[in-house]
């Protein structure tokens, strides 16, 4: 049981305006595993004032190399807590412990280190004709983050913001906030200058909206649902803030007719079900040649069966529960809609046997899914994979591009040049060709209603910078 009563503001743990608390439930046992303060608009305002004071004080004059040194210290402090971070997120989110160690704990550390390196290497000014172009900190940043990869999404905002010279107020997800307090402990341990990072837990309608609307915030970086992103944008527009958004996805895995089917389908299933499908970039639509659909389904069923569903703290588990009862109900509703619309249920479709507690849903496979079906158009955020057949390469591309989203995707072919040509045609921010490996330095973000702006790499840092030109 982890109980936090204070907020991290101004370099110290401070009492919030009220004693109201948020209970954090274990995704696998449904038991209360911790509590955090339910912050108020006043708490958000205090954090903004602290961030503004730090920006206008010593931090605003800190050279990039010094900021890089602080990021190195923060990465080391998080690394020392890696085991604890993995255990907390395995409890909060339900991520299998092996995945939590490698991804939920490992990736935030790697992201933080990458920005220490970029702060040293990327030029903050350069000549353009008779002008000197300067990249300067955008200012005070409000970061509003989700629950599915909680600490990764936090550090994908905090690290580039600090590298760019900004100060930040973080509002972590109220569903999985405990990991953010481990970050606060790391900041305290390294004695990060007061006000550079501030953390206010609370709900979106209270703390999140207060930050988005606050006149002392210069920029908002939001990751979450499309609906919430629209609300944040509307509130921020009143004071003409910069807003970056990483929203939903309905990514396609396009398997061309010459692709190595066993490899492509197996990889596609694992991608779609990573973190029990609670991944914004998951390839939740598998687009296959109609003539090869039956074979693809056999492979997909076997691949799903090989992923052990179970206790997140069992090292053999590959699929854990969903995050909450409401998320499970949402996924179950989509499964019911898929059946009602005429999609063919091949595997799963309900709650698995043997799990009296926890928010489990069996991995679910639909075949013969129409491109316009709800389960092929809307983000489900659960272990549900839809297989859509096609008759021509042109049709496959049109199906892949035929949603309001454009976050990610994959293309498989025996001919790498053919796969690359199709990848170029997909309206998505990140496309993997034949299982291309994740690249920490590649920008991540979406086309269309998947969002605005990019995270990770040098472009991710540029989002937190203003450009000034000085003519001479």
Tell me the C-alpha distance between 417 and 212, whole Å.
Answer: 44
Instruction: Return the closest-CA partner of residue 276 out of 244, 311, 323.
Output: 323
Instruction: Return the closest-CA partner of residue 173 out of 223, 219, 210.
Output: 223
Instruction: Return the closest-CA partner of residue 273 out of 248, 306, 296.
Output: 306
Q: Of residues 174, 280, 332, 463, which has the active-site annotation?
A: 280
The 8-class DSSP code of residue 441 comes to T
Tell me the C-alpha distance between 272 and 292, whole Å.
Answer: 19
CB-based burial of residue 181 (10 Å sphere; 0-12 exposed, 13-18 middle, 19+ buried)?
buried
List the alpha helices (DSSP H) in 102-149.
Answer: 106-121
CB-based burial of residue 68 (10 Å sphere; 0-12 exposed, 13-18 middle, 19+ buried)?
buried
Strand-pairing partners, residue 126, are: 133
List the alpha helices (DSSP H) in 191-306.
Answer: 209-213, 226-237, 261-273, 293-305
Indicate if 280 belongs to the active site: yes
The 8-class DSSP code of residue 438 comes to P
The whole-angstrom distance between residue 101's C-alpha and the CA centroid of its chain comes to 17
Q: Of residues 92, 209, 246, 332, which has the active-site annotation?
A: 246
Indicate if 246 belongs to the active site: yes
Beta strands at 465-471 and 408-412: parallel, antiparallel or unpaired: unpaired
* Cα torsion angle, 222, 227, 233, 236, sign: negative
* Cα torsion angle, 99, 104, 105, 109, sign: positive
User: Could you list the active site residues?
Assistant: 246, 280
């Amino acid at each position: 049981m982890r109980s936090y009563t204070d907020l991290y503001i101004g370099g110290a743990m401070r009492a919030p305006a009220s004693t109201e608390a948020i209970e954090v439930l274990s995704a696998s046992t449904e038991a209360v595993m911790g509590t955090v303060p339910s912050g108020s608009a006043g708490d958000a305002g205090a954090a903004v004032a602290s961030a503004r004071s730090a920006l206008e004080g010593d931090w605003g004059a800190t050279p990039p190399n010094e900021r890089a040194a602080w990021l190195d210290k923060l990465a080391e402090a998080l690394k020392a807590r890696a085991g604890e971070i993995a255990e907390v997120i395995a409890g909060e989110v339900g991520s299998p412990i092996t995945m939590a160690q490698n991804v939920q704990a490992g990736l935030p550390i790697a992201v933080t280190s990458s920005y220490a390196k970029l702060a040293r290497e990327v030029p903050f000014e350069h000549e353009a004709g008779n002008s000197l172009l300067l990249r300067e900190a955008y200012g005070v940043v409000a970061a509003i983050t989700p629950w599915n990869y909680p600490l990764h999404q936090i550090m994908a905002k905090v690290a580039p913001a600090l590298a760019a010279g900004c100060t930040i107020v973080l509002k972590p997800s109220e569903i999985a906030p405990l990991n953010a307090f481990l970050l606060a402990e790391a900041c305290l341990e390294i004695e990060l200058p007061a006000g550079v990072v501030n953390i206010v837990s609370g709900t979106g309608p209270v703390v999140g909206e207060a930050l988005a609307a606050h006149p002392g915030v210069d920029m908002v970086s939001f990751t979450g649902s499309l609906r919430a992103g629209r609300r944040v944008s509307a509130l921020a527009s009143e004071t003409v803030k910069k807003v970056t958004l990483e929203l939903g996805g309905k990514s396609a895995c396009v398997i061309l007719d010459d692709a190595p089917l066993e490899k492509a389908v197996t990889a596609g299933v694992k991608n779609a079900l990573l973190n029990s499908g609670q991944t914004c970039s998951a390839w939740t639509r598998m687009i296959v040649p109609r003539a090869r659909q039956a074979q693809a389904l056999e492979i997909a069923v076997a691949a799903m069966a090989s992923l052990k569903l179970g206790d997140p703290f069992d090292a053999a588990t590959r699929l854990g529960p969903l995050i909450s009862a409401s998320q499970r109900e949402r996924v179950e509703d989509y499964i019911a809609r898929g059946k009602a619309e005429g999609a063919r249920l091949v595997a799963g479709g309900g709650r698995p046997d043997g799990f009296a507690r926890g928010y489990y849903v069996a991995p679910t496979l639909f075949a013969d899914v129409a491109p316009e079906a709800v389960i092929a158009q809307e983000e489900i955020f659960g272990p549900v994979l839809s297989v859509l057949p096609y008759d021509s390469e042109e049709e496959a591309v049109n199906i892949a591009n035929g949603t309001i989203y454009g976050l990610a995707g994959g293309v498989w072919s025996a001919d790498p040049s053919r796969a690359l040509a199709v990848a170029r045609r997909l309206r998505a921010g990140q496309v993997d060709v034949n299982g291309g490996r994740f690249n920490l330095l590649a920008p991540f973000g979406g086309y269309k209603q998947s969002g605005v702006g990019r995270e990770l790499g040098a472009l991710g840092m540029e989002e937190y910078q203003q450009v000034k030109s000085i003519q001479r």
